[in-house]
Structure 1
Amino acid sequence: MSTERLIVDDAVADSLIERIEKRRAALRLGDPVRDGTDVGPVVSKAAAERLSGMISDAVSKGARLVGGGHVRDAFVEPTLLDGVERGMRLYQEEVFGPVLSVTRVAGVAEALTVVNDSEYGLAVSVFCADTARARALVHQVHSGICHINRATIDDNPHAPFGGVKSSGYGRFGGRWAINEFTELRWVSRTISSD
């Protein structure tokens, strides 16, 4: 559910990237058991190498490395890339690591096209000053979970958790789990007249 890609209106992209980069640069990579560590290793060295390849692929195809990008063993420095577009692995694949990509768009219609141009659809957040407009947009987003002006990470055990497309099958959490994890059967019998 972590945010891997931002789809941002070009009119506000520079300002947003500047603010994110300031926070990204302050994150400390290291041993997660030590005080002060913000980001630990990814699951394996192979996972780190995969992320390094995704970053290199994006940069080689025109994305701008704003900050981060260094990989050592299973440690991946928190990374921010701007200008990620279709045809780049970061645009098409799930990341599973501390890499955030920005895809710039020219308005709401293009944003909807880009957000739905993915085989994945677990969690999405729509940020908009006009919440009525945001509510109208969420009905056009193909995802299992959609938040308005909130982070994509929200694990509420009473809510139906699950994605669409290649991001999951069914829902769990709350009463929805009963339907997903049980199988309904119809059993009948003949009643004797005795």
Structure 2
Amino acid sequence: MSNLLEQAPWKGKLYNGQWQTASQVRDVIEPATLEPITQTGIASADDVLTACHQAQQAQKEWAAVPPREKSTLFLKAADYLDQNFDELSMIIARETGGIVPKGQHEVREVATILRLAAGLAMQPTGYTLATDINKQSYAQRIPLGVIGVISPFNFPFILSTRSVAPALALGNAVVSKPDPQTPMTGGYLLALALEYAGFPKGIYQVVPGDADAGAALCEAPEVAMVAFTGSTAAGRKVGETCGRNLKKVALELGGKSSLIILEDADLELAASNVAWGTYMHQGQICMASGRVLVHESIADQLIAKMAEKASHLPVGNPATEQVALGPLINERQLQRVHSIVEDAVKAGAKLEAGGSYEKLFYKPTVLSGVKPGMRAFDEEIFGPVATIVTFKTDEEAIALATQTEYGLAGAVISPDVARAKKIGSQLHVGLLHINDQTVNDECNNPFGGCGASGNGQGVCGPNDLDTYTHWQWVTEKSAPPKYPF
């Protein structure tokens, strides 16, 4: 067992720059074994409000820290991740149910995000504006104050840090509420890195909790903005509360992303892309390839290749076995996935592979003959299910891909890049990939969707300066002017 899990500085604790004893505790269950892996504090609504007040007090001094000093702290935090790479990767794999390479990916990406934040802290934040010769006029970006971050269970390290790091770099304090199923990956591992680096007490608070804790974060008067990643249903509630309280909000929500495969596509490459886009992390990814739209002339061949891949992909405990897929996050999610598969078969779809499970391990599944009106076509599954839909023309493919309230990702595969781009340009999505599948993110790109996938605010890359600051216009004169009255 790892030293960190043995030491468990978070056991029964919340974090405000120090480990504070919580009034409520909860076991963290390892999905692969269904056994407790550790125990952490659980925040009540009052705990969240206290954290927001403490963050507001700490933010004023943090905003005044020179940029070069901020930058150095982020670089040191990234070094901590490098130094503890293997241990942190295994903790993430065990807590989230992902394979070890998925845990390694999260650690690498978060280290990159921290180094990007180090650079962001040094960037110019304003413009000198044209004005009268005897006056200086400029616009500058200044911190919002306290940012609330609510992150999900699937890629918690990345999906929390991608907001926490730039928000801190730009002079804000952050109160982070990770999913209570993954509090280590969603908050406490970053706390260890920031603590090691020497970040001031109070500017980063970790308060894992349930819906009441999230509601308190959205209601807290100290919080100027909430960055939320999660389901569309929960995102609507967050958006409603933030709107009522006149708070800025960034919503990164669910998706039903289409991967379109044209008849001239290389079948081996296409099948590889489908498998990755649908089975990566058991399909528990917002930008998963939720609809595989295949030209009818190659559908049978692709289905056969997908069924073969699905039948040979090993499923098991990622911490102890060489597997491609681990467990789903909990029993409720597993039963939802299975009910969608069963409903599709009853409605006329054909089960080509999978469709069964043991404990939380759901076998990679292939459904062919999926049509609009089936839950497998309409709903975000969040499980390892490839839903194959056929089309005859480019226009039909576009119509099928856009027959959804979501607008997160889309992809088109064809050696005819011009044709693929023409199709892609008609998909109403925030993330578009030509000759790739839909699961892509590089940390320095704007990430977000439209429609039921988000409010188009976006996070990461060129979005960060706008997202976590607000404009302030400043004018300066050597003496006040004399006005007519």
* TM-score interval, normalised by the smaller of the two chains: over 0.9
Correspondence 1:78-97 to 2 at 5 A: 78-97=364-383
Conserved 8 A contact 1:125-1:152: yes
Matched, 1:147 2:439: no
SS of equivalent residue, structure 1 residue 179? helix
CA RMSD of aligned residues (A): 1.8
- Mean CA deviation greater in 45-54 or 151-160: 151-160
Q: Structure 2 stretches of 5 or more lacking a match? A: 1-286
Matched, 1:166 2:452: yes
Q: What is the match of residue 124 of structure 1?
A: 410
Aligned mates of 2:476, 2:334 — CA distance in 1: 59
Aligned mates of 1:84, 1:22 — CA distance in 2: 19
Give TM-score, length-normalised by structure 2: 0.38
Residue 137 of structure 1: CA displacement?
1.3
- Mean CA deviation greater in 94-103 or 32-41: 32-41
The one-letter code matched in structure 2 to 1:137 is I
Conserved 8 A contact 2:351-2:366: yes
Percent identity reads 34
Matched, 1:177 2:429: no
Conserved 8 A contact 1:6-1:101: yes
Question: If each structure's strand is expressed as a fraction of its own residues, which one has the higher value?
Answer: 2
Aligned mates of 2:410, 2:392 — CA distance in 1: 19
Aligned mates of 1:96, 1:182 — CA distance in 2: 33
Correspondence 1:52-71 to 2 at 5 A: 52-71=338-357
Aligned mates of 2:415, 2:481 — CA distance in 1: 70
SS of equivalent residue, structure 1 residue 46? helix
Q: What is the match of residue 248 of structure 2?
A: none
Residue 152 of structure 1: CA displacement?
1.3
Conserved 8 A contact 1:47-1:74: no
Residue 188 of structure 1: CA displacement?
7.0
Residue 107 of structure 1: CA displacement?
1.3
Q: What is the match of residue 138 of structure 1?
A: 424
Correspondence 1:18-57 to 2 at 5 A: 18-57=304-343
Aligned mates of 1:48, 1:83 — CA distance in 2: 22
Conserved 8 A contact 1:82-1:102: yes
Structure showing greater radius of gyration is 2
Aligned mates of 1:57, 1:146 — CA distance in 2: 30
Aligned mates of 2:469, 2:369 — CA distance in 1: 45
Aligned mates of 1:98, 1:117 — CA distance in 2: 22
Aligned mates of 2:469, 2:296 — CA distance in 1: 47
Question: If each structure's helix is expressed as a fraction of its own residues, which one has the higher value?
Answer: 2
Residue 78 of structure 1: CA displacement?
0.8
1:133-185 CA-partner distances (Å, limit 9, x unpaired): 11111110111111011121221112111111111231112112222233334
Match of 2:385 among 90, 99, 105: 99
Residue 84 of structure 1: CA displacement?
0.8
Aligned mates of 1:188, 1:92 — CA distance in 2: 53
SS of equivalent residue, structure 1 residue 184? strand
The one-letter code matched in structure 1 to 2:347 is K
The one-letter code matched in structure 2 to 1:32 is P
Q: What is the match of residue 12 of structure 1?
A: 298
